[in-house]
Amino acid sequence: MAGVDYSGRYDVIVVGSGAMGSATAYYLARRGKRVLCLERFGIPHAMGSSHGHTRIIRLAYLEHPSYVLLLRRAYELWREIQSIAGEQLLYITGSIDAGPEGSFVFKGSWDSCKLHDLPHEVLTGAELRRRYPGYRLPLEHLALVQPEGGFLTPERCIVSYVMAAQALGAELHAHERVLEWVPLEAGVRVRTDRGAYEADKLVVTAGAWVGKLLGVLEGLAVPERQVLAWLQPTRPGYFRPDTFPVFNLLVDEGRFYGFPVHSVPGFKFGKYHHLEEKTDPDQLDREVHERDERTLREFAERYFPDGCGPTMDLQTCMFTNTEDDHFVIDVHPEYPQVSLASPCSGHGFKFASVIGEIMADLAEKGMTHHNISMFRLHRLTRPRGLRGRSIPREEQAAQTVTEQNGRSRSFLGTPDVRSFW
């Protein structure tokens, strides 16, 4: 690939400038660090998990009440970066978490509200329809309505963080692919298709590609194909941001999430774990097929009949999942100069602002005042085929240790010298 052969020494190199990486670069630059952020694609791009015009943010958190403390800080930081950017990034619509009375979606959200004293209401499906006529949920279902939920505009969030980081002196290189990284006694070296760089610290926020860069996440970070739909409402007034809260619903067809119409035509929604298609991020099927559209339209026809007019758009993206659907945020277990954030199991974007702050802490001090105990890497179990394997056979033959001026050592061939991101 033609390009400039950049080189130099940095305080921190960040790999990936999506939601987490762009925020990390900004918070490090704000602390006076010399930062380089490397992005394989464009800034922003639609190849991973941080696109699609809108992303849900919700304070009532059904996945686990412990997330609420991080969310409170995330809201503060989103409002701060939108003030710096001079444009609205966070839109408050209210949020709805609904399902059968004993379901994890309703009960998990309700429990988090009670534990953290969050304002909320509980409505039946019939009451919800009277208040928000776009919804047609089963009458016996219960809906947790929380007024502070809403959505973020992901592409603009990333651009805002990138431009704020650049204004503070951070370097961001797009269309520059990381080929490998190696630990040194005094830091790390990163080689790309345009040059080589050294830094004291490395932060990996590579989304679906994280398992290809970090052997400690091999088999533990599993990319999954997702499909999103935008349908033109037949009654547009029911699907505006002021009349249609964002939602998480558990119904007979599965768990779905959705948004009001914003910025592009169509009421947007998707299904969690769409068709349960595990994938390689470099071989993702980016075409949308009739089965994808049928799965989504059948849901809309049943529960949002006034929202399922002509199809406006269909897009693919990825989740990258752990076995327990919680995040991984940690310092590398072997190399303390390396920290990582991902996978986020399909619910991470709303946390990008606070995760950026956390990753800046880990890179700068190796610790953070935020409680990330639930997200430590050691909780995950290795897939059976990978347990006990420290170095792949083909890499053992190539393993070398080099000394440079008696100071730095490069461990080529370890499982964490990862290529082709």
Active site residue ranges: 51, 54-55, 268, 273, 317, 350
Distance CA 213, CA 217 (A): 8
CB 232, CB 309: distance < 8 Å: yes
Distance CA 331, CA 328 (A): 10
Q: How many helices (H) and strands (E) does the chain have?
A: 9, 22
Q: Which two tokens stand for residue 101?
A: 């009375």
Q: Return the SS3 of 141.
A: coil
* Cα distance from N-terminal residue to C-terminal residue, the chain: 15
Phi, psi angles (nearest 5°) of residue 270: -155, 170
Classify each residue of 278-308 as buried b or exposed e, where b means 16 or more C-beta atoms within 10 Å of its C-beta.
ebebeebeeebeeebeebbeebbeebbebbb
- Of residues 116, 94, 68, 117, the one with CA closest to residue 354: 68
Distance CA 110, CA 55 (A): 21
Q: Which two tokens stand for residue 250?
A: 């558990």
Distance CA 411, CA 419 (A): 14
3-state helix, strand, coil in the chain (%, to 5): 30, 30, 40
Q: Return the SS3 of 410.
A: strand
CB 197, CB 406: distance < 8 Å: no
Strand partners, 173: 38
